[in-house]
Amino acid sequence: MNSSRVCVKSQRVSSQAAPAQSSNLAEVGTDLSAMTMALQQKDFVGFIMLKNLLEIEQNMRRIRYSQRPQLGINDKIALCSNIAMPLYVLCNGFYSVQQNCEVLCTPGGVVPIKCFKTSFYHKDSVAMRMGDKLLCKAIEPFSRLKLSNEEFVLIRAIIYSHMVSPGLSDQAQKLLFTEAEKYASLLMRIVQISYGAAPGALRYVELMGLIECVFNAGAKHRQLLTYISNVLDPNFDRVMPPMLAKISTKGPVELHQLLPY
């Protein structure tokens, strides 16, 4: 099956972005000057996160679900806040395997762990332990499963339809549940065609496990970025637009509130 056709059918993405409906959401999509500031201040981790999260936010603008009515702006913000970090992990994991990388790298070929090791971060043992776990070892399930293009597109569509997100309205939860069921059913059919009935069902279970894995990894990425923004890097909050800073970190916290590594 052609992956581009699956992408069009499963995500129903329009060719043009919808106009901004909220000043907060517009702030996220238009504050590209922050990326320049991140590079000027050599905040490479902030730059990588900003670039990835802006791409995810732009995708959120373009999605058109098959159900009507579409998600409202508050529901989109609630959904994006919950799925942005898992999508960051999923996309980087998939493209890392595509590029034969042994650690996580971005679709553009940037290797985040190298940014850690070549910056002042390498002097902080906590950041390096967390970075090793999340930016090196996190690739293992992706290397083992070796997702096809069709599997990646449909897993991404299922995550974009994640109904268990705090702040979603009842109407949004129903819409997303219907969408997720549709994509999950299509994924099951595809893997059973590719692997056979029983092996395909086993493959499907493994792919559902990967979704849980990326949500867990996404939560731990937020812990790492919270540690960086609160303790290690005073420039982090200055180069990240406030909306994206909220998505990628837990906000101001005490050190004892961060899970130990």
pLDDT in tens, 138-164: 899 999 999 999 999 999 999 989 988
pLDDT at 239: 61
Tokens 């493959």 — which residue? 203
- How sure is the predictor about 195, in pLDDT bands with cuts at 50, 70 and 90? very high
pLDDT in tens, 38-90: 444 444 555 555 666 666 666 666 566 665 567 888 888 788 888 888 888 99
Domain boundaries, the chain: 7-248
- pLDDT above 50 for 100: yes
pLDDT at 63: 60
- Could you give the residue ranges of the DSSP H alpha helices within 31-139? 33-40, 44-62, 73-98, 112-117, 125-135
> Counting beta carbons within 10 angstroms of the beta carbon of residue 123, is it exposed (0 to 12), middle (13 to 18) or buried (19 or more)?
exposed
Q: What predicted TM-score, i.e. pTM, was given to this entire model?
A: 0.72
Mean pLDDT, residues 91-102 taken together? 91
Tokens at 261, concatenated? 């590594």
Task: Give residues with Cβ within 8 angstroms of 61, minimum separation 6.
Answer: 17, 18, 20, 25, 29
SS (H, E, C) 103-128: CCCCCCCCCHHHHHHCCHHHHCHHHH
**218 in Cβ contact with 89 (< 8 Å):** yes
- pLDDT above 60 for 134: yes
> 254 to each of 44, 104, 232, how far by Cα in Å?
25, 29, 13
User: Of 50-54, 95-99, 146-150, 243-247, where does mean pLDDT reach its minimum?
Assistant: 50-54
Out of 3.40.190.10, 3.30.1360.150, 1.10.10.10, 1.10.565.10, select the CATH number for domain 7-248: 1.10.565.10
